[in-house]
Structure 1
Amino acid sequence: MSALLKNVTNCIWHAFESLQNNDVVHKSKLKVLTANIGTLLDLYGVEKGLDHFRSSQELTFDEYKYYLQHEVFSSLPKTVTLPIIREYEKKISEVCWLVCRKSLLARDKAVFGDESVFKLFRIFCLLADLVQDADDTNRYVVVLQPSEAGIVAEQLVHCLGLRWDAADWEALGSSIGHFKWAAFLAVLEAKYCCDQQTHPEALVEAVDEIYDVFIEDIIKKGYLFKRGYLLPTMREYWCVLQPCALTYYKSSSQKDQCGRIAIDEYCSVEASVGEGKIQRFQLITPDRTFEFGTQDHKSRLQWISALRQAAAVSGGAEGYQRRARAGRRGAGARREREVRETKARLQHEVRARLAAEAQAQELAELAQQDNRKLEELKTTQVELERLLQEETQAKRDEEIVRALQARVLAEEWERREELERLQEEQNRMLEEERMKRKQFEILQAEKEAQYKEAEKRLRELEEEKRRLDAELHAAQEKISRTELTAHALHVQLRQDMNPILRNGERARRAISFVPTTKSSSDTLIDIRAIKHLKVLDDDEKL
């Protein structure tokens, strides 16, 4: 539903502006605003998608608008009637107003009430444009063109019964430029509503009047006589005409609605002849023909024109004032284009006139130059005849030179062919040299690999030799330690065997004095003693 989002974009921007910090708003704040908008549209849970929308926790206005367009407003039906769209706009504007009202109501001296300021705010958002800020292209501002602001101010002044000064407003608009909300409200309050004689109720009625015109799309309202359906009598009603309907009430308070007649592009209005002072006309709809009347002929013409206009603009999803604004902008653009074209045409004519004068002066100068050139040409003719003879002679010389050049060219071609042949031989020799060099590089690479392998084997043999040397040295040290240990043991053994040898000597001496007559047992003892002595002698020798 892009039309609805387009209509409420300015209101949503003001709410976003009041929540933002450094041109971005945190998702938690936007979820509250989105939930309220979704509730008004009978869409629930649309704010939950913000958690998964974008990776950052803050959104710019472009990102938030993209989310609303694709996740919220796209869920609405594509075909929605104009009254429903107008009701949605009112509810969304109220929600946005609750968010930003504190900042938008802040001013030094208040003249309008809060309700009137809200209605002016809706009118401002209706007529304003969302444009990029001139100081910062990354952010937007909502501004009102001076011409559109002048229409609102003029309507307000007329409703208050004051005189409208168009020249004064043009001077004010040219000095201010584009109107932002604060400047728009300040101008209305300070310039046109600060008169102490203006009653507050008159201000409220004036704001309500222009609110009905711009927001409610009321084309015309007033008393009309209507012929009854059952009783053919003319009864007076308070009628309110909008692009899509004609609603009639019992009184101008518009509290007791008596009926509503739908108006579309198939309706027509025709004047009719009636009796008495009532000026009658008929509203012809596809379902029924209604008869109305006014007190005078002028009012009838006004109502007929208004009804025809309502029937013409009844179709589509945009209201009458939005179309009127687009038409005014188109007309303004056409006027500006026409002015630019007129200025361009005048400038072109001025440039053409100046160019014609300059061309005439140039022609006069050219005539004088032609006379001088004529004399010069006569002199030149004589010179050319002389040059022609020289040229003829030069052509003959040129033919001779060309013949020489042809011969030189032929020799050059022969030399070039010889040079190409030599170049081919040189390329062939270079190719053979490259092949030999490549083979040499391969052989050299193999030799280097063998050299590296030999170096590796030599390092391994050196490591093996160092290891064997270390083992030999360890064995020699072990043998030395063994010899020292054996020598020490031999010395210790001799020291330990000296007492035993002395004892053995004494034993021998004792045996020599033993008697010769012995028994067998004694003989056995002597043999054992001898063996013991031999063992002792062997130990002593060791």
Structure 2
Amino acid sequence: MTALLKNVTNCIWYAFDSLQNNDVVHKSKLKVLTANIGTLLDLYGVEKGLDHFRSSQELTFDEFKYYLQHEVFSSLPKTVTLPIIREYEKKISEVCWLVCRKRLLFRDKSVFGDDSVFKLFRIFCLLADLVQDADDTNRYVVVLHPSEAGIVAEQLVHCLGLRWDAADWEALGSSIGHFKWAAFLAVLEAKYCCDQQLHSLALIEAVDEIYDVFIEDIIKKGYLLKRGYLLPTMREYWCVLQPCALTYYKSSSQKEQCGRIVIDEYCSVEASAGDGKIQRFQLITPDRTFEFGTQDHKSRLQWISSLRQATAVSGGAEGYQRRARAGRRGAGARREKEARETKARLQHEVRARLAAEAQAQELAELCEQDNKKLEELRNAQIELEKLLQEETQAKRDEEIVRALQARVLAEEWERREELERLQEEQNRMLEEERMKRKQFEILQAEKEAQYKEAAQRLKDLEDEKQRLDAELKAAQEKISKTELTAHALHVQLRDLSPALRNGERARRAVSFVPTTKSSSDTLIDIKAIRHSKVIDNNENV
């Protein structure tokens, strides 16, 4: 509910100002004020957060306002009707008034009663602005624009039945400037309500009247004749018109409410034919059509105009007077801007006229000097033409030189490109040579490995050859021994008898021939194996 906090900020500032000491207030005092505001809003325990808010025990008004916005008013529903907002504003204003009333009621000579002063205080807070003090930028002050204060004073004067002097108020406003509360109340009491003939009840009624206009947003009130819903008779009621509703009571005391008609942008008002004594008009709502009447034509026109105005300003969650104040501020700002622009434009025109006159005089004085300098300028022109021709020739020469430089630069670029191309080719050839060298190294390593492997195999073959030679030699020795043995046996056989020799020869021939043949075959096999191994070793090498 940012709008609610914005509406009651001025009242809260006055309560804060009554508690502060050197622009700060202790948290213990602010907890009481926060608890009262929270109770009015049906929020309990909102003051407990002040203990943990900020590290210091004292808060400035900006810090306290920040706490109220984020910890108190943010807990309210976002969509609240205008009557509820108005009721919240009234309760919070009363709490703040209890805190600061003693300070704000103090004055030398009082004219208004305390209740009237409270109502004027609410009107002042409604129309005033919270701004930084010109003398102390860390301090705030609530001030009322002279035009807004003039509207309140004019309403009060009209309600008292006095004559309003706009020129006198304009002079007073220009001399005082922006009104603070004390100056505003002193001007109303001392200038417009100091007449001894004014009764206290008249002052109370006048304050109540302007309170209804500014705070309650009452556009118009008075007696009206209303046609009943069941019976067609016209009955008189005291009617109070606000932007959101038309409420009617039994009497002007407004104690017994008889009904309430909601007014919105979908309502319309139309005049209807009367019977000569009663001037009738109709209020048409989406649910029902209401018929009213007045005793004269003028009153009917006033009520029709007021009802149409109420339907036009019924929308929105902000009060009619607040919107009207914003509109006046906008119009005033535009008028001030236009006035400043007009004043600046007039000043500019005066300065321009004076400057033109001075310039004309200077031109008249310079005219003679120009005539004298004209001849000098002609001579200078001739010299400049010569210099121009020389400069033109120099530019032509410069262009020729630049063309030559461009051609040389182009050739240099071509050469540079050719060098870069050659460098790239050289780098490519170096890379290829490096790759070939790397491959050659790999191949050489493989050949060395094969060479080492072949050398090892040759060594193994030589060892095997030596072993086979040894075995062959042993076999040859064995064969030699066998041949010697065979030869000895042949000699012995020759010495035996022929028969025995023949029989024994036949028997031995059967047993000896395989033995001899086996020895020969063995020798041949050994030689063949040795020969094959030698061939295999030679092939491997």
Q: TM-score, normalised by structure 2?
A: 0.71
C-alpha deviation, 1:276, in angstroms: 2.2
1:62 Cα offset (Å): 0.3
**Cα distance, 1:277 vs structure 2:** 2.4
Q: 1:390 to 1:208 in 2, by over 3 A?
A: closer
The residue that corresponds to 1:524 in the other structure is 523
Q: What residue in structure 1 maps to residue 270 of structure 2? A: 270
**What is the CA-CA distance between 1:360 and the residue it aligns to?**
5.0
Alpha carbons of structure 1 residues 138 and 230: separation in structure 2 relative to 1, 3 Å: same
SS in 1 for 2:536: helix
Report the Cα distance in structure 2 between the residues aligned to 1:339 and 1:397, rounded to whole angstroms. 65
CA distance 1:505–1:404, change in 2 (3 Å): closer
Instruction: Return the offset for 1:20.
Output: 0.7
Deviation readout 1:273-324 (Å, 9 max, x if unpaired): 2322222111111111111111222221211111111111112121111111
1:279/1:297 contact within 8 Å kept: yes
Give, in angstroms, the shift of residue 371 of structure 1: 3.9
C-alpha deviation, 1:155, in angstroms: 1.0
How does 1:463-502 map onto structure 2 within 5 Å? none
Q: In 2, Cα distance between the equivalents of 1:192 and 1:222?
A: 26
- Higher mean C-alpha deviation, range 194-203 or range 468-477: 468-477
Of residues 108-117 and 416-425 in structure 1, the stretch that sits farther from structure 2 once superposed is 416-425
Kindly indicate whether the alpha-carbon contact (under 8 Å) linking 1:501 and 1:540 is maintained by their aligned counterparts in 2: no
Deviation for aligned residue 1:393: 12
Residues 36 and 528 of structure 1, relative CA distance in 2, 3 Å threshold: same
Would the aligned equivalents of 1:501 and 1:536 in 2 still touch at CA under 8 Å? no
1:124-174 C-alpha deviation (Å, 9 max, x unpaired): 111111000111100101111111111111111111111111122112111
Q: CA 1:412 to 1:22, structure 2 compared with 1: closer, same or farther past 3 Å?
A: same
Q: CA 1:233 to 1:396, structure 2 compared with 1: closer, same or farther past 3 Å?
A: closer
Matches of 2:288 and 2:146 in 1, distance apart?
A: 44
Q: Distance in 2 between matches of 1:333 and 1:538?
A: 120
> 1:97-116 to 2 correspondence within 5 Å?
97-116=97-116
Per-residue CA deviations over 1:8-46 (Å, capped at 9, x if unaligned) read 001111110111111111111111111110000000000
User: What do the CA deviations read for 1:191-242 (whole angstroms, capped 9, x no partner)?
Assistant: 1111111111111111111111111110001111111111112211111000
Unaligned runs of at least 5 residues, structure 1? none
CA contact (8 A) 1:272 1:282 kept: yes
* Change over 3 Å in CA distance of 1:540–1:101 after alignment to 2: same
Structure 1 stretch displaced more, 517-526 or 339-348: 517-526
The alpha-carbon distance between structure 1 residues 222 and 400, as it changes in their structure 2 partners (threshold 3 A), is closer
Shift of 1:535: 109
Q: List per-residue Cα deviations over 1:174-202 (Å, max 9, x = no partner).
A: 12111111111111111111111111111
1:442 Cα offset (Å): 43
Cα deviations by residue, 1:475-502 (Å, 9 ceiling, x for unpaired): 99999999999999999999x9999999
Taking the aligned partners of 1:350 and 1:518, their CA distance within structure 2 comes to: 156
Q: 1:250 to 1:518 in 2, by over 3 A?
A: closer
Q: Distance in 1 between matches of 2:478 and 2:30?
A: 92
Report the secondary structure of 2:207's partner residue.
Answer: helix
Q: 1: distance between equivalents of 2:16 and 2:459? A: 81
Measure how far apart 1:451 and its partner are.
58
CA change 1:255–1:427 in 2 (3 A) is: same
- Pick closer, same or farther for the CA change 1:260–1:528 going to 2, 3 Å: closer
Report the secondary structure of 1:516's partner residue.
helix
Question: In 2 relative to 1, CA 234–358 (structure 1 residues): closer, same or farther, beyond 3 Å?
Answer: same
- CA apart distance, 1:72: 0.2
- Aligned counterparts of 1:201 and 1:145: Cα–Cα separation in 2: 29
- Bigger drift between 271-280 and 360-369 goes to 360-369
Q: For residues 114 and 539 of structure 2, what CA distance do their matches in structure 1 show?
A: 138
Q: CA deviation at 1:372?
A: 3.4
Please state if 1:243 is matched with 2:218: no
Change (3 A) 1:476 1:173: farther
Note closer, same or farther for the CA distance 1:124–1:526 as it changes in structure 2 (3 Å cut): closer
Distance 1:116 1:371, change over 3 A: same
> Using a 3 Å threshold, how does the CA distance of structure 1 residues 480 and 283 change in structure 2: closer, same or farther?
farther
Instruction: Give the distance between the partners of 2:540 and 2:285, measured in 1 at CA.
Output: 157
Aligned-residue sequence identity (percent) comes to: 91
Is residue 145–residue 178 contact of structure 2 (8 Å, CA) maintained in 1? Answer: yes
Q: Is the 8 A contact 2:23 2:139 kept in 1?
A: yes
Corresponding residue for residue 406 of structure 1: 406
**2:167 and 2:108 mapped to 1: Cα distance?**
28
Residue 269 of structure 1, CA deviation? 1.0
Report the number of matched residues: 541
Larger CA deviation: 347-356 vs 446-455: 446-455
Give unpaired runs (5+ residues) of structure 2.
Answer: none
Q: Secondary structure at the match of 1:418?
A: helix
Shift in Å, 1:353: 3.9
* Equivalence map 1:445-464=2 (5 Å): none
Judge which range, 10-19 or 346-355, deviates more: 346-355
Pairwise CA distance, 1:376: 2.5
**Which deviates more from structure 2 when the two are superposed, residues 312-321 or residues 476-485?**
476-485
Secondary structure of the residue aligned to 2:316 is: coil
Aligned CA distance change for structure 1 residues 466 and 70 (closer, same or farther; 3 Å) = farther
Distance 1:484 1:426, change over 3 A: same
Question: Could you say what secondary structure the match of 1:217 adopts?
Answer: coil
Equivalent residue, structure 1, for 2:181: 181
Task: State the TM-score, normalized to the length of structure 1.
Answer: 0.70
- Show the counterpart of 2:430: 430
Conserved 8 A contact 1:497-1:540? no
Please say if residues 25 and 59 of structure 2, whose CA atoms lie closer than 8 Å, have aligned partners that are also in contact.
yes
Using the TM superposition, give the Cα deviation of residue 415 of structure 1 relative to its aligned residue in structure 2, in angstroms: 23
Give the structure 1 partner of residue 30 of structure 2.
30
1:392 and 1:178, CA in 2 relative to 1: closer, same or farther beyond 3 A?
A: closer
Give me the whole-angstrom Cα distance separating, in 2, the residues matched to 1:492 and 1:36: 158
- The two structures, once aligned, show a CA RMSD in angstroms of 18.8
Q: Which shifted more, 181-190 or 33-42? A: 181-190
Paired with 1:291 and 1:391, the residues of 2 have a C-alpha distance of 98
